Amino acid sequence: MNTFTKVLFRRLVRTGVKRGLIDGSRLWLYVGAISWVVRTLTKQRHPVVRRETLEPGETLVVTNVDHSKRSMRRQSKEQPTE
């Protein structure tokens, strides 16, 4: 969804809540509800990379490795030493 579409649906939801719930217009309530559903269903979700259950006493360490350093290590392992 591009930026214009995101702003449009956000605006429709906001206006639907304001005019539908506060002012009592059913049409705007329906427009806001439908816009909210469409915005929620089209939102991109990040995939789960890994899922594990930790046993008592186990810890989880998250690190961030620079890709350039990782590729340099891989290249040095692939080249035979003399």
HEC-encoded secondary structure of 6-69: HHHHHHHHHHHHHHHHHCCCHHHHHHHHHHHHHHHHCCCCCCCCCCCCCCCCCCCCCCCCCHHH
Q: What is the number of structural domains in the chain?
A: 1
pLDDT of 22 > 80? The answer is yes
Whether 16 contacts 35, CB under 8 Å: yes
pLDDT score at 64: 83
Question: Quick check: is 66 in a domain?
Answer: no
Phi-psi region of 24 (alpha: psi -120 to 50; beta: other; left: phi over 0): left
In-domain check, residue 22: yes
Asked if the structure places residue 74 within a domain, the reply is: no
The range of the structural domain enclosing residue 13 comes to 1-45
Confidence of residue 72 (pLDDT cuts 50, 70, 90): low
Q: Pick 55 or 82 by higher pLDDT.
A: 55
Average pLDDT over residues 15-22: 93
**Is there a domain that residue 11 lies in?**
yes
Average pLDDT over residues 40-69: 85
In a domain, 10, yes or no: yes
The answer to whether residue 29 is domain-embedded is yes
Q: How confident is the model at residue 16 (pLDDT cuts 50, 70, 90)?
A: very high
